[in-house]
Structure 1
Amino acid sequence: MNKEYLEQWLNVSESVNVQMPNEIFEDLSKAEFKSFNHKCFAYAYYYLICYIYRNALYGGKTDQYSQQNIINVFTSDKSSVSYITKSKGILDSMNYTKTTTDYPVSYYMDDGVLEFGLIKELRMKIPELEMNHSPRFFVKEPLKATARFDREDYTGTFYSFQNTHKLDVEDFIKIISDKRLGHVGLYIYGYISMMCDKYNNKFQITNAQLGDFVGCSERTMKKYTQRLEELNLVESTRIIYDKKQLDKVYSII
C-alpha cells in the first residue's frame, strides 16, 4: 500500500500515537516463528492493531479494518502468517492479543482515564443498529495495551508509558511503505528507538552486535540501518580511538 493511502486509511491527521512495550522484543525472541521476517511481521502487526484499537477506527467504515486488510499492509500471502494472527495463534498464545467480535467504536476520557465505547454496549442501547461489516468480522484486542502488569485493568501501554517506546504513525507509514524497509525495517527501527530512549538518544553498538540482539546477520543490519539513515529516521556517528573507527552511535532523528 502506498503512503497516501495509508495516511488516509489510518486517519493520521486526527489520531493519537501509541507506545509499544519494551519487553516485546524479548517476548518475540522466545516464540517459535518460521523466520526472522515473520518475527518482524508480528511486531509490525501488533503496532498496527494497537493503533487502530486506540483510535477506535472501527467506528467508521468497519470493514476497512478487517484482518485481511490489516495483514495486506505487510504481505500479500495471508496464509503464510495465519499461524501468527489466527485465533489461538502465536500472538494469542503469548497473551498479546485476544480474538473478539466486540470492538471500540469511540473513545473518551472519564475523570482523566481513557475509556472505550464498545459495539456490544451500543447494540444493547440501539437494538435496531445495522452492522456495516460481515457477520464473521472480528478484531484483535491488544492485551498489553489495556492490562500489562499482573493483568490488572488500566496498567497497559494505553495508560502507562513506563518501559515503553513510541513509534509515530508518520514514521510507521514512511517505513512500511518503503520497499527496502517494510516490517523488517520497522522492527529494527523500533529496537533502535527503544535503546535510544534508554541511553539518552546515544546508543553505542556495532552492527554485528545489533544483528545478534535482533536476530539477523551483520550484512542485513547494515543494509537496513543504511536505508533508515537515508530516509532521515536514524543517524549514526563513529567513535574513533587511536585512529581506528570503532562502534557506531545511533540516534533517533
Structure 2
Amino acid sequence: MNKHSLEKWLETTNCVEVQMPNEIFEDLSKAEFKSFNHKCFAYAYYYLTCYIYRNALYGGETDQYSQHNIINVFTSDKSSVSYITKSEGIMDSMNYTKTTTDYPISYYMDNDILEFGLIKELRKKMPDLEMNHSPRFYAKEPIKGMTRFDGEDYTGTFYSFQNTHKIDVRNFIEIISDKKLGHVGLYIYGYISMMCDKFSKYRITNEELAKMVGCSERTIKSYMVKLEKIGVIQSTKITLNNKTQKFYSL
C-alpha cells in the first residue's frame, strides 16, 4: 500500500496510539528467525496487530483486515514469513499473539477499564447476524496488549505503559511506505524510540548500535541516514577518544 492508502486503511484521524513492550527486542533476539529481515518483519507485524486490535478496526469492513492484507503491507512473498504468522508459528509460540476467530468489533470504558466488544458475544445476541467476511477469516489477538505480567488480567500494554515505547502511527506509515526503509527501518527506529524514552538524548556509536540491534554496522549507517532524511529522528555527532558517537533524539 502507498502512504495515502495506509492512512485511510488505518483510519489515522480517529484511532488511539499503541505502546510496544520494551522486552520485545530481547524476546525477538531469542527466537529462531531465518534472517535479520524476518526478525524486523515480526516486530512490524506485531505493531500492526496491536494497532488494529486496540482500535477494533475489524468492526468495519472486516475482510480488509485479513491476515493476507496485513502481511501484504510488509512483503509480497507471504509464504516466506508464514512460519512467523501462522497458527502456532513463531509469534504464537512466543506468546505474543493468539490465533482467534473471536475478534473485537468495538471498545469501550467500563469503570475506567478498557473493554472490548467481541464478535461472538454479538452473535449470541443476534444469531441471524450476517458475516461481513469470508468463513475462513481469523484475527490475531496481541497477548502482550492484554496480559503482560504474571498472567494477571489488565496488565498488558493496552492498560499500562510501564516499560514500553510508542511509535506514532503516522511515523509508522512514513517509514513503512518508504521502500528504502520498510520493516527493517521500523525495527531500528523502534529501538531508538525505546532508548530515547529512557534518555532525553541517546548516545551510542554505530558499531555499538549494530550489536544491540543485531545487524551489520553498514546496515545501521544506511538506515539511520534514511531515517534522519525523512525527519523521524535527529542526531548530533561528537568525537570522544577517537570514536565517533551520536546523540539521537526523536
Whole-angstrom distance in 2 between the partners of 1:129 and 1:181 = 42
Q: CA deviation at 1:246?
A: 2.6
Moved over 6 A (4+): none
Shift of 1:245: 5.9
What is the match of residue 77 of structure 2?
77
- Corresponding residue number in structure 1 for 2:41: 41
Residues 137-156 of structure 1: pairs in structure 2 closer than 5 A: 137-156=137-156
1:211 is aligned to: 210
- Kindly state the Cα deviation for residue 152 of structure 1 after the two structures are TM-superposed: 1.1
Q: CA deviation at 1:151?
A: 1.6
Per-residue CA shift, 1:70-109, capped at 9, x if unaligned? 0000000110000000000000000000000000000000
State how far apart, in whole Å, the 2-side matches of 1:54 and 1:20 are: 12
Q: Aligned equivalents of 1:241 and 1:10: distance in 2?
A: 44
Q: CA deviation at 1:240?
A: 3.4
Measure the CA separation in 2 of the matches of 1:154 and 1:5: 33
Query: Within 1, Cα distance between the matches of 2:29 and 2:161?
Result: 22
Q: CA–CA distance in 2 between the matches of 1:204 and 1:100?
A: 42
Q: Pairwise mapping of residues 157-176 of structure 1 onto structure 2 (< 5 A)?
A: 157-176=157-176
Aligned residues: 250
Which residue of the partner structure matches residue 67 of structure 2?
A: 67
Aligned residues of 1:62 and 1:133 also touching (Cα < 8 A): yes
SS in structure 2 of the partner of residue 236 of structure 1: strand
User: 2:247 is matched with which residue: 243, 246, 249?
Assistant: 249
Quick one: which amino acid aligns to residue 51 of structure 2? Y
Counterparts of 2:34 and 2:122, CA distance in 1: 40
Matching residue of 1:240? 239
Alignment partner of 1:56 is 2:71? no
What are the ranges of 5 or more consecutive residues in structure 1 without an aligned counterpart? none
Taking every aligned residue pair, what percent have the same amino acid on both sides? 75
Deviation, 1:209, is 0.8
1:100-179 equivalences under 5 Å are 100-179=100-179
Query: SS where residue 13 of structure 2 aligns?
Result: helix
* C-alpha separation in 1, matches of 2:207 and 2:85: 31
CA-to-aligned-CA distance 1:221-243 (integer Å, 9 cap, x gap): 0000000000011111112347x
In structure 2, C-alpha distance between the alignment counterparts of 1:76 and 1:146, rounded to whole Å: 30
Q: Distance in 1 between matches of 2:215 and 2:50?
A: 26
1:10-39 deviation per Cα after TM superposition (whole angstroms, max 9, x unaligned):
000100000000000000000000000000
The one-letter code sitting in structure 1 at the alignment partner of 2:56 is: A
Q: TM-score under structure 1 normalisation?
A: 0.97
**CA-to-aligned-CA distance 1:169-197 (integer Å, 9 cap, x gap):** 00000000001100000000000000011
1:189 alignment counterpart: 189
TM-score by length of 2: 0.99
**Structure 2: how far apart are the matches of 1:245 and 1:68?**
46
Q: Deviations over 1:115-171 (max 9, x none)?
A: 000000000000000000011100000000000001211000000000000010000
Amino acid at match of 2:19: Q
Partner of 1:222: 221
